[in-house]
Amino acid sequence: MSKVCAICGKGQQSGNKVSHSNRKYRRSWGANVQKVKVVNPNGSTQSLYVCTRCLRTDGAVKRA
């Protein structure tokens, strides 16, 4: 299962790793997502993957 933020959709990014000798090869960076319990509007709780930027944003996520 890929780790993607359930709020904003942020996921994995890819690019080049560049060595000291300037050789380049592909690598990927994963988003900093945490598994948190979130309260839904109907009052039930759900476990979602949410990025840390959305956790810090006011009102984006209501934690259980």
**Average of pLDDT values for 16-39?**
96
pLDDT band for position 6 (cuts 50, 70, 90): very high
- Cα–Cα distance measured from residue 18 to residue 34, given in angstroms and rounded to the nearest whole number: 29
**Average of pLDDT values for 2-11?**
92
Q: 33 exposed, middle or buried (CB, 10 Å; 0-12, 13-18, 19+)?
A: buried
User: pLDDT at residue 62 above 60?
Assistant: yes
Taking the CB of residue 34, how many other CB atoms lie within 10 A of it? 13
**Average of pLDDT values for 8-25?**
97
Q: What's the whole-model pTM score?
A: 0.79
